[in-house]
Amino acid sequence: MAVEVRMPKLTQTMSRGMVVRWLKKEGEEVKKGQPLLEIETDKATMEIEAEASGFLLQILVNEGELVEVNALLAIIGELKEKGKLVEHTGPPLTSKKPVSPAARRQAEKQHIDINSVLGTGPDGLITEDDVLKYAEQQQAKLGQQRSVYGEEQMVPLTGTRKAMADRVTMSHQILAKTTTFAEVDMNELIELRKKIQIPVTTWVVKAAILALREFPLINSILVDNKIIIKKYINMGVAVSTDDGLVVPVIHNAEENTLGEIAKKIKQLAEKARIGRLSLADISDGTFTVTNSGVFGSLFFAPVINYPESAVIGMGKIMKTPVVRDDQIVIRPMMYMSLSYDHRIIDGALAVTFLQKVKEGLEMPDTLTS
């Protein structure tokens, strides 16, 4: 019996997905659980496994195509069923064109929808030259233009950047965002880091975990007028990549030591930067930490990673004159912010929580267990 392969809804905010690469060809045998294709979601690129064994009878969406969730992608079945395939129902998809392997690789490299390219080879075959020519034409159209003020450049909002724009819009439209700030004396932590060489972000993550255990309402979401408090802490840590910001998740982070957290952040960041995060790596976050200080930002009010209720933002550590025991001294200071959903979290709780995180960072020995 033929089995339909459809675009899955892999994240809560996903509405469309792009077929990045088919890992099997039409007519090839596939086994249940075997990687079948790669899909780019609103957060990452990931492999999708076959849900049934059989043969890949028909591919209905080409590499580079962006389609709606639940759109029909392919059909798996027995070879005897190939002749019985009928025109599918669902969202309209363009017909498959003959494409040379070099052309497909070039289109993937340049993020070009192969179905938009006119093939000039035998029987309409799309060649690599066709793709390169199409890319030049698109660059001419979308690249340098002139206005009455001078040259302009237009860049299509697609892929990860489009997904990021959609999530930011959703966060602003739904959540009642408010931000509070704290100034943290990082002197003790910097001294301790001479012995325990772990990145500052990891220390903030650990301090946030301890504070979340004390103030669990921060670790919640609002669904259908019900506040759902998470008893586990799935900590998201924002990572910058060439394609934009992604937030991989450390699941059950409260069960990890400081060193284990550092190791997991490093592993997830490496996977994010090569586009190899799995669905599990980006799913079910309950709280997020993001560090703009690495880019030189002094302080900022980060966007909440919907549907979470709060996010901590870190600024850069900067030597600053401060008063200690009525004396002006120089201390390495860091501004830290908490953006939170005011529908769930009131100002008093937000400030108290952030002060608890600050307390942990200023007494870093409490974070080493």
Active-site pick, 113, 123, 166, 342: 342
State the distance between the two ends of the chain, measured CA to CA, in whole angstroms. Answer: 55
Annotation says 342 is catalytic: yes
> What is the distance between the alpha carbons of residues 296 and 315, in angstroms, rounded to a whole number?
8
- C-alpha Rg value of the chain to the nearest Å: 25
Catalytic member of 242, 341, 346, 365 = 346
Tokens describing residue 344? 């769930």
d(CA 116, CA 240): 31
- To the query of whether residue 251 is one of the catalytic residues in this protein, the response is no
CA dist 205 and 211 (Å) reads 10
Reference 50, options 65, 64, 29; nearest CA is 29
Annotated active-site positions, please?
Answer: 342, 346
